[in-house]
Amino acid sequence: AQSVTQPDIHITVSEGASLELRCNYSYGATPYLFWYVQSPGQGLQLLLKYFSGDTLVQGIKGFEAEFKRSQSSFNLRKPSVHWSDAAEYFCAVESGGSYIPTFGRGTSLIVHP
Amino acid sequence: NAGVTQTPKFRILKIGQSMTLQCAQDMNHNYMYWYRQDPGMGLKLIYYSVGAGITDKGEVPNGYNVSRSTTEDFPLRLELAAPSQTSVYFCASSPQGNYGYTFGSGTRLTVV
């Protein structure tokens, strides 16, 4: 069965600093991987996704993520964080034969001015 | 572009009451999903549908029912509301599997 772990419940960064949110998955084959962002009081919005090919994927809002098969990881990065990036971030994994993703429990990003 | 529309945004129910959470999408997506979100627990799948007339249970279906008579609509029915159903409910849709979801803005339900 597939599973997703987001080790950090909260992350605090200063505005302008770089960001990396961790995501580890458990799945035998190459999974489909997603990152979503949820602003307060809103639904989730898809930031980026990985299916195959280039292991570094670019998303919206200046985010990128890198798939590392050897580490079973799909970490989300941003070189310079803006105050508006404060939100909850969810990693999700989906197997090729399923259309039901498993979501991590989320990482709350706090941005200090 | 409306995307996925959920109504109502907020609702307070008394124990034992029933209600329907509405979800509509205008993107002609075949796949639709209902999730509940509780603090610190991520998202739990309640029901999903891969097309009109086809529905299936997710991880936490007890106390809920769904129907999918059209591609656009996927209502979630709560029968005999219980305090354990206090949560934020999200509807999502996708054109196909492994594609990523479009989410609605949610319905915050409180059962008292």
Helix (H) or strand (E) holding A93: strand A87-94
* Contact present, B76 and B20 (Cβ < 8 Å): yes
DSSP string, B85-106: G-EEEEEEEESSTTS--EE---
Of B31, B94, B105, the CB nearest to A43: B105
Q: What is the DSSP letter of B73?
A: B
* Residue from A35, A103, A105, A107 whose CB has the most chain B CBs within 10 Å, to mutate: A103
Q: Which two tokens stand for residue A79?
A: 């070189």
Mean pLDDT of A18-31: 89
* Residue from B33, B88, B101, B107 whose CB has the most chain A CBs within 10 Å, to mutate: B101
B97 touches chain A (CB under 8 A): yes
Mean pLDDT of A19-23: 98
The nearest CA of chain B is from the CA of A32 a distance in Å of 6
Rounded to the nearest 5 degrees, what angle is found at the Cα of B74, between the Cα atoms of B72 and B79? 160
The nearest CA of chain A is from the CA of B58 a distance in Å of 9
For the purposes of burial, counting CB atoms within 10 Å of the CB of B98, is it exposed (0-12), middle (13-18) or buried (19 or more)? middle
Give me the pLDDT at residue B9, please.
96
The nearest CA of chain A is from the CA of B111 a distance in Å of 19
Of A46, A51, A103, the CB nearest to B98: A51
Reported as a single tens digit per residue, the pLDDT across A67-91 is 999 999 999 999 999 999 999 999 9
Closest C-alpha among B2, B102, B105, B48 to residue A47: B102
Q: What is the dihedral of CA B43, A111, A56, A104, to 10 degrees?
A: -20
* Contact present, B47 and B55 (Cβ < 8 Å): yes
DSSP string, B6-37: EE-SEEEE-TT--EEEEEEESS--SEEEEEEE
Rounded to the nearest 5 degrees, what angle is found at the Cα of A50, between the Cα atoms of A73 and A27? 50
In B27-46, the residues whose Cβ lies within 8 Å of chain A are: 31, 40-43, 45
Mean pLDDT of A96-112: 89
Share above pLDDT 70 across residues of chain B, in percent, rounded to a whole number: 99
Amino acid identity, position B81? A
Reported as a single tens digit per residue, the pLDDT across A49-61 is 998 888 999 999 9
Mean pLDDT of B83-110: 94
Of A44, A45, A99, the CB nearest to B31: A99
